[in-house]
Amino acid sequence: MKHSFISVFTIILLFSAHVSTAAQAGSLRFGKDSQVIKLQDIKMKGPNGEQLYLGYLLETDYFVLGTGVQDKGYVIGIKGQDDGFYRIPDAQKVQIAKNTGLLPREFPLYTISPLQYAIGYSLWFSIAILCLWMMIGKMSRKPKRL
């Protein structure tokens, strides 16, 4: 009984630590979540005059906790919208935008941060920690006397 309580308590702690990030507070997640990470401002304006920036799209799959993360490449983000973006146009239009100074000549390099990976694969980390906890608990039990 004591061991199962500790296991459940550990799951709750891991879950609450995950959902307490500012963008995800108080929500249960299922399915895909897209996030545009800003790399730099650009001079280009959107079709409705909105301010834009160069960024990359990160998709995270959730089943309460993260089950996977995918880098979807460069996008043009819309300022003020966490998940608003436009796909990068074809190479010819990109070259024209670079030549006119609307886009940078060289796109900045980026990497997915360790925190983004940790959130993206948090379900698997939680399961591994829970299994390890249960194995340690089982090994530390004293044998019962008859």
pLDDT tens digit sequence for 8-34: 545 544 554 444 344 454 467 788 888
CB-based contacts of 135, cutoff 8 Å, min separation 6: none
- The three-state (H, E, C) secondary structure of the chain, written as one string: CHHHHHHHHHHHHHHHHHHCCHHHCCCCEEEEEEEEEEEEEEEEECCCCCEEEEEEEEEEEEEEEEEEEEEEEEEEEECCCCCCEEECCCHHHHHHHHHCCCCCCCCCCCCCCHHHHHHHCHHHHHHHHHHHHHHHHHHHCCCCCC
The letter for the amino acid at 111 is: T
* β pairing state of 85-87 and 29-45: unpaired
The distance from CA 109 to its chain's CA centroid, rounded to whole angstroms, is 18
Distance CA 36, CA 119 (A): 15
The confidence score (pLDDT) of residue 146 equals 64
Which residue carries 């280009």 as its tokens?
44
pLDDT, one tens digit per residue, over 37-76 is: 999 999 888 888 899 999 999 998 988 888 899 999 999 9
The confidence score (pLDDT) of residue 16 equals 46
Residues of the chain with pLDDT > 90, as a percent, come to: 26
Residue 6 confidence class, pLDDT cut points 50, 70, 90: low
Which of 123, 91, 128, 131 minimizes the C-alpha distance to 107? Answer: 91
Does the predicted model carry a pTM greater than 0.85? Answer: no
Query: Comparing 3-17, 83-97, 114-128, which segment has the lowest mean pLDDT?
Result: 3-17
Range 102-127 average pLDDT: 89
* β pairing state of 29-45 and 51-78: antiparallel
Quote the tokens at residue 117: 């990976």
Question: Is 70 exceeded by the pLDDT of residue 121?
Answer: yes
Quote the tokens at residue 142: 């004293």
